[in-house]
Structure 1
Amino acid sequence: MKIIDVKAYAVKQEVSIPFKWRKGLPQGSHLNEMGILRVITDEGIEGVAVAQRGLMTVDYTQRRLKDLLIGKDPLLKERLWHEMWELDRAEEFQIYYMGLPDVALWDITAKKAGMPLYQLLGGSRDRVQAYASTVTYDTTDEYLRVADYCLEKGYRAIKLHAWGDARADAKLCQALRKHVGDDICLMYDGSAGFDLQDSIYLGKALEQADYYWYEEPMREFSIWNYKKLCDELTIPVLAAETSDGCHYNAADFIVHGACDRIRTGTVLKGGITGSLRIAHLADSFGMKAEIHGGDQVNVQLACGIGNNTFFEVLAWGTGPIGFGYPVEEDGFITAPQVPGIGYSFDWEEIERKAYAKV
């Protein structure tokens, strides 16, 4: 099997409900565009991967990915992953793109095998429990109303993205615990908004409210600060979400005691190949590797590994709330059961809609 062509498209998407993050971060405009990578083989099997930046997808494909992939065997994913890593030394790829071609190659491999990707990866289960991951709202009452709606939809776990004020966020987190009771799993994501002192303060408040994990309270440049945070707290600290370096960086967090759970996922950690490296590394330390949201490919990953707890689904608005992925009545998501990842595009329509392509 050989790759005979590589195409890319930049497509606009309409997000009907605007949303925001903590103070200092931009609005959620990344959902307004999508990049699609399409890898075509001489056997008629195509691999697809999706990115959050349309024009970057087209640019990288035109300048780098076509030359990297055309003429190669798509089943030699390990070799091509390392070749992409070598390109990054000169290119410094935007973090979303280190694993983009790898995802498309795994899609081809699973289609060639006639299996859903999660089965090809080993198959831990065919469905995964979802948690509702909020955006940022203006008042505590809005958060409580959103939580009620999420529980009505079947979710049994909720993660907060709050205001980025340690004192105010601590009160909000404790108010939510009181509101939903002891049986609902709650998490908190700091979106890297705090220094070490405020991170410790907020972490202790989360411990009192029995939160399940404490995610990315600080920027992930300083492993030493994360180690000091972990030493101060009993709540599990989830880290290494946006840090560069894939499994090499994840290993430093783990061996230095700078996290209790590690982030993985195809979007930020080098595709399927990079994500598996992190998941297996974490498993060797008896640690959970929690997947950072996404679409079908990360659902497949979540069902393919054994040491992931939940799947993140973005919830925004206040009613009706928009959710980023269909969740079943019991709060679970079932992996697509078709061969490959499960993407389905009308290529004629994509060709017409694309505002940039190669």
Structure 2
Amino acid sequence: MRITDIRVIPFRTYADRWDIGHGRLIPKAEVHQTVTCIDTDEGLTGYFFGGGKHGDQDGLNVVEQEMLTGRIKALLVGQDPFDREMVWKWLWVANIPEVVASVVDLALWDLAGRAFGQPVYKVMGGARDKVKAYASTYPNIGSPQVYADHALACQAEGYTAYKIHPHYFWNPETGLPTPGRPSNIKDDIETCQLVREAVGPDMVLMYDVWGTYHTLEETIKVGRELEKLDFYWFEHPMPEYRVESYVRLCRELSIPILAPEIAAGGVFTRAEWILRGASDMSRMDVRRGGLTGCRKTAVVCEAYGIKCEIHMAGWGNLHAMGATSEDTSEYYEKGLLAPGVDYDAPHPYLHANCDQMDAEGMIPLPQMPGLGYDIVWDYINDNTTAAS
């Protein structure tokens, strides 16, 4: 079998989103989506939806699309689509942007699963058929009390864990942006206290600041409060180019520090952070090296006996978890969520979403061949757009 073509189809769709800058709902926002297709001479095609900032839920931009249908297509046409490790290495040494290389890797995994008639996590080597879900909020969903009320609502839906993205570049007291003050630790601490009080001692709580604490002192101050409130992890609290600050933070706090979240370099960066003692848990997702890169990172973490928690929702991340023990990758990040956002609304281009939660707060792994897409081609064809 040989690769004959790489195509990217851009199309328009709609989904509820949250306006982070103004702290408000955007119902049925127009979303730019893409599906990348890798065709073969035996009539088999591998697919991947998305690759943009929301992972699966947003499409590639025009530069990324042109890279796939230009330079990468010229490199890969004629190659065996099952040589994923070779392709992964080629794209890495060619300095292809991580997101673009990841889309290729994911589409090749989808193709392999379809060829073997198995879900991807089974082809990788299945470890489990369900994963624990946690409710992950948008930032700036409201005042501290809004977070407490939202956490209670998520608990009532069956979630056993809840993660706070607090107030980023936004003042919850005024409801206005604060460009020069990315964090508001007084309100952040109150938010954590009210959420813990609302949900009780048994719900697992996590906290993710997305690098908006710009001094070690304020980061430690918040971390001490999280320890008192028995939070499970403290995620990406400071900018990730300050690695030495993370080394010092890990020494100061007993709560596990989960990082790096968005630092470039995939498995190689995560391995360096582990060796530096800059994080207690590592963070990875399929946008930073595809499923192949996720698997490599999980193996490194397993060798050192630390967690490799998978970042963001989506089809690829679910399969990465299904092929990894819960001892290494425990929680699936479901969201982003906010009051009024219907995250579980069906995507019109797919017959089913990937991450419907069951009554026990678990997400069953997709069971269709490949990544599990059941594609509504009529919708895509009716809503195709120019590359943008």
TM-score of the pair, normalised by structure 2: 0.85
Once the two structures are TM-superposed, the CA of residue 280 in structure 1 deviates from its matched residue by: 0.3
Once the two structures are TM-superposed, the CA of residue 87 in structure 1 deviates from its matched residue by: 2.2
Change (3 A) 1:202 1:235: same
Once the two structures are TM-superposed, the CA of residue 22 in structure 1 deviates from its matched residue by: 9.6
Residue 310 of structure 1 is matched in structure 2 by: 331
Change (3 A) 1:162 1:28: farther
The 3-state SS of whatever aligns with 2:18 is: coil
Residue 114 of structure 1 is matched in structure 2 by: 117
- Mean alpha-carbon deviation: is it higher for 42-51 or for 347-356? 347-356
What one-letter code is carried by the residue in structure 2 that aligns with 1:207?
E
Query: In structure 1, how many angstroms separate the alpha carbons of the residues matched to 2:245 and 2:18?
Result: 34
Once the two structures are TM-superposed, the CA of residue 19 in structure 1 deviates from its matched residue by: 3.5
- TM alignment of 1:187-206, pairs within 5 A: 187-195=206-214, 196-206=216-226
- TM alignment of 1:194-343, pairs within 5 A: 194-195=213-214, 196-267=216-287, 269-306=288-325, 307-319=328-340, 321-323=342-344, 325-343=355-373
Residue 147 of structure 1 is matched in structure 2 by: 151
Query: In structure 2, how many angstroms separate the alpha carbons of the residues matched to 1:337 and 1:301?
Result: 14
Query: In structure 2, how many angstroms separate the alpha carbons of the residues matched to 1:199 and 1:178?
Result: 22
Once the two structures are TM-superposed, the CA of residue 330 in structure 1 deviates from its matched residue by: 1.5
Q: Residue 158 in 1 paired to residue 165 in 2?
A: no
Q: Report the RMSD for the aligned CA atoms in angstroms.
A: 2.3
Query: In structure 1, how many angstroms separate the alpha carbons of the residues matched to 2:282 and 2:33?
Result: 27
Once the two structures are TM-superposed, the CA of residue 30 in structure 1 deviates from its matched residue by: 10
Residue 351 of structure 1 is matched in structure 2 by: 381
Residue 130 of structure 1 is matched in structure 2 by: 133
Query: In structure 2, how many angstroms separate the alpha carbons of the residues matched to 1:34 and 1:206?
Result: 37
Change (3 A) 1:28 1:298: farther
Once the two structures are TM-superposed, the CA of residue 351 in structure 1 deviates from its matched residue by: 3.4
Query: In structure 2, how many angstroms separate the alpha carbons of the residues matched to 1:212 and 1:316?
Result: 19
The question of whether the paired residues in 1 share the 8 Å contact of 2:152 and 2:198 is answered with no
Between the aligned residues of both structures, percent identity stands at 31
What one-letter code is carried by the residue in structure 2 that aligns with 1:356?
A
Query: In structure 1, how many angstroms separate the alpha carbons of the residues matched to 2:89 and 2:369?
Result: 26
Query: In structure 2, how many angstroms separate the alpha carbons of the residues matched to 1:30 and 1:80?
Result: 36
Change (3 A) 1:198 1:190: same
Q: For 1:30-88, what per-residue CA distance to the aligned partner results, in whole angstroms no more than 9, with x for missing partners?
A: 98222221111122221111212333442222232211221110000111111111221
Once the two structures are TM-superposed, the CA of residue 287 in structure 1 deviates from its matched residue by: 0.7
The question of whether the paired residues in 2 share the 8 Å contact of 1:12 and 1:354 is answered with yes
Query: In structure 2, how many angstroms separate the alpha carbons of the residues matched to 1:31 and 1:242?
Result: 26
- Mean alpha-carbon deviation: is it higher for 231-240 or for 33-42? 33-42
The question of whether the paired residues in 2 share the 8 Å contact of 1:75 and 1:109 is answered with yes
Query: In structure 2, how many angstroms separate the alpha carbons of the residues matched to 1:30 and 1:287?
Result: 39
The 3-state SS of whatever aligns with 1:80 is: helix
The question of whether the paired residues in 1 share the 8 Å contact of 2:315 and 2:372 is answered with yes
The 3-state SS of whatever aligns with 2:125 is: coil
Q: Which runs of 5+ in 1 are unaligned?
A: none
Query: In structure 2, how many angstroms separate the alpha carbons of the residues matched to 1:281 and 1:61?
Result: 29
Residue 179 of structure 2 is matched in structure 1 by: none
Query: In structure 1, how many angstroms separate the alpha carbons of the residues matched to 2:322 and 2:116?
Result: 17
Query: In structure 1, how many angstroms separate the alpha carbons of the residues matched to 2:282 and 2:296?
Result: 12
Change (3 A) 1:113 1:156: same
What one-letter code is carried by the residue in structure 2 that aligns with 1:217?
P
The 3-state SS of whatever aligns with 2:329 is: coil
The 3-state SS of whatever aligns with 2:61 is: helix
- Mean alpha-carbon deviation: is it higher for 207-216 or for 324-333? 324-333
TM-score of the pair, normalised by structure 1: 0.92
The question of whether the paired residues in 2 share the 8 Å contact of 1:3 and 1:71 is answered with yes
Match of 1:55 among 38, 52, 61: 61
The question of whether the paired residues in 2 share the 8 Å contact of 1:19 and 1:316 is answered with no
Residue 72 of structure 2 is matched in structure 1 by: 65
Query: In structure 2, how many angstroms separate the alpha carbons of the residues matched to 1:157 and 1:320?
Result: 18
The question of whether the paired residues in 2 share the 8 Å contact of 1:117 and 1:340 is answered with yes
The question of whether the paired residues in 2 share the 8 Å contact of 1:316 and 1:323 is answered with no
- Mean alpha-carbon deviation: is it higher for 298-307 or for 311-320? 311-320
Query: In structure 1, how many angstroms separate the alpha carbons of the residues matched to 2:39 and 2:308?
Result: 32
What one-letter code is carried by the residue in structure 1 that aligns with 2:280?
D
Q: For 1:4-38, what per-residue CA distance to the aligned partner results, in whole angstroms no more than 9, with x for missing partners?
A: 11110222232234342699xxx999982222211
The 3-state SS of whatever aligns with 1:174 is: helix
Residue 39 of structure 2 is matched in structure 1 by: 40
Q: For 1:254-308, what per-residue CA distance to the aligned partner results, in whole angstroms no more than 9, with x for missing partners?
A: 01100011011102x2001111111000000001100012311211111111110
The question of whether the paired residues in 2 share the 8 Å contact of 1:131 and 1:313 is answered with yes
Q: Which runs of 5+ in 2 are unaligned?
A: 53-58, 168-182, 346-354
